[in-house]
Chain A
Amino acid sequence: MRTLLKIEDLHVSYGAVRAIKGISLEVNDGELVSLIGANGAGKTTTLHTISGLVPAESGSITLDGTDLRKIAPNKIIEIGLAHVPEGRHVFARMTVEENLAMGAYIVRDKAKIKRQLERVYAHFPRLAERSRQLAGTLSGGEQQMLAMGRALMTEPKMLLLDEPSMGLSPILVKEIFSMIKTLHSDGITILLVEQNAKMALSISDRAYVLETGLISMSGKAQDLLHDDKVRRAYLGA
């Protein structure tokens, strides 16, 4: 299997606070890997560092061999990495369709944009129904679908998903996770950050457990799901 994303000995600090203290992880082509851990463990920071929103202090991050640390944050999308941020960050004052069009900001080919729009609508029929509605008036679950659909507009090689289940009702959480599973089976490589460890592990191939800036455990998602330590710490069992 080919390694798509590779992080080696990554360190990140906010001023004097060391958020990430030397982590290494890999995501292979076509894999769904989750990064679980408690609040403040550094999960979101890790994703922000991958997409360049937060600068790394040291270490390396490569996507398909390309050094991401040498690429401007707004150019990351151009090499096929899309990031769905925590809290969705949809453009509230724009319509659903305008949001999706912004997702294809770097795409010049109008026919491709149209094709992608149709694919996204096929994936998320709810978005098609609400295409003219302002994104700020959507429900949390719909905003999450919009954020994911927007990230898919460039046909990225890899998706970074940050807390997709945050603030959603149990039914919607299930719905969102089954959508993530579908994206995965369509062949998109995904790095998923979740507090809902049980759900994340149940759909992932592999997982890493992040604890105060360090990776404490890693392995097959199924194994972690049945690991006593993980169960006690993150699955409430």
Chain B
Amino acid sequence: MGEFLQTLFVGLRLGSVYALIALGYTMVYGIIRLINFAHGDFIMVGGYTLIFTVPLMTAAGMPAWMAVIIAILVCALVGVGVELIAYRPVRKKGTNMTALITAIAMSLFLENLAQAIPAIGPNPMVAGTFFESGGFRVAGVTLDYTTIYTIAVSAVVMLLLYVFTQKTKMGRAMRCVSEDKSAAILMGISVNKTVLTTFAIGSGLAAVAALMYIAQYPSVYTTIGSLLGLKAFVAAVVGGIGIVPGAMLGGLVIGLVESFSTAYISSSLTDTFVFLILIIVLLIKPAGILGKNVGEKV
């Protein structure tokens, strides 16, 4: 029982991080039908921003985790920059394939750019601690604060995002653009502004994910976003890419599969199971767990 609970919470923690990252993939895909391969690298940007700004925060007498605010801003700026400089011009002139290749190029560019910066370099950097150690005991297992905060913060962030997309004007505009771009234009919605907002939010979420991830695994390196991003992308596809609740669900599914397969089957086969789940879901429901076509009558 104790082991089961522990595994469950580890799964939820991992899943929360995947869900936050998956949201970035799914929101951008939903709005411009682009798989933003550089999204995983926004986690790297967030991670390094945290490493460099935590000392500033502590020097100012603030808690270390407050650095995430700066990381969110930096990531949002990088996301918006990538859209403005790389994706938008390519989208105007090229095809979906050109945009996809540009995304892969941006990913490699960001990773190599980071390595080329003298303060970063090729070797991993170690982050300090963000949350107090320890935790409290529930039903015979110890829940550490990092796990609790990760799950709680992700839940709050996702709830806020949901309210944003349902209740605010910009959120509704995002849903419209993702559903029908030309109809959205006819309503008076600026597609460019909406796409930029989507990039800013998606990249900002990656910064939050970066905080949660390195609070648990405090090593930051230039390719940190590769496997993490890939698994989050799998989560988005499993849940149904383009669908916001799908990314949340997919993230949790992948996190739980990872933790339970590690605990009960084999830790060396973890990634195998993640991709196995992807294959199974795609065979049964090609559009993902929540992906379905709304019955449109003509």
Minimal Cβ-Cβ distance residue in A for B294: A136
A92 touches B183 (CB 8 A): no
Q: Is A138 engaged at the interface, CB distance under 8 Å to the other chain?
A: yes
With A51-B186, A73-B185, A85-B183 in contact, do A137 and B172 touch (Cβ < 8 Å)?
no
Stretch at the interface among A8-16, A76-84, A218-226: A76-84
Contacting pair A74 B190 (CB below 8 A): yes
Contact call B296/A136, Cβ cutoff below 8 A: yes
**Distance between A163 CB and nearest chain B CB, rounded to angstroms:** 12
Tell me the residues in window 178-212 of chain B with beta carbons closer than 8 Å to chain A beta carbons. 179-180, 182-183, 185-191
A138 touching B182 in the complex, CB below 8 Å, given contacts A77-B188, A105-B169:
no
Q: How far is the CA of A103 from the CA of B188 in the complex (A)?
A: 8
Selected contact of B175 from candidates A53, A94, A103, A143, CB within 8 Å: A94
Q: Is B295 an interface residue (CB 8 A)?
A: yes
Is B180 touching A75 in the complex (CB atoms < 8 A)? no
In the bound complex, how far is the Cα of B174 from the Cα of A93, in angstroms? 13
The answer to whether A85 and B295 have CB atoms under 8 Å apart is: no
CB distance from B197 to the nearest CB of A (A): 14
Contact A91 B186 (CB under 8 A): no
**Is there a chain A Cβ closer than 8 Å to B139's Cβ?**
no
Cβ–Cβ contact A105 & B175, under 8 A? no
Interface check A167, CB cutoff 8 A? yes
B176 in complex: contacting residue of A53, A91, A143, CB < 8 Å? A91
Which residues from A are CB-within-8-Å of B296? 92, 136
Q: Is A102 an interface residue (CB 8 A)?
A: yes
Q: Does A101 contact B (CB under 8 A)?
A: yes
* A205: B residues at CB distance < 8 A: none
* Given A51-B186, A136-B296, CB of A102 within 8 Å of CB of B179: no
User: Is there contact, CB below 8 Å, between A89 and B297?
Assistant: no
**A87-124 CB contact bits vs B (8 Å, 1 = yes)?**
10111111000100111011000000000000000000
Residues of chain B within 8 A (CB-CB) of A91 are 175-176, 179-180, 183
Q: Which residues on B are within 8 Å of A, measured CB to CB?
A: 169, 172-173, 175-176, 179-180, 182-183, 185-191, 294-298
- A-B residue pairs in contact (CB < 8 Å), sample of 5: A53-B185, A77-B187, A93-B294, A140-B297, A167-B298
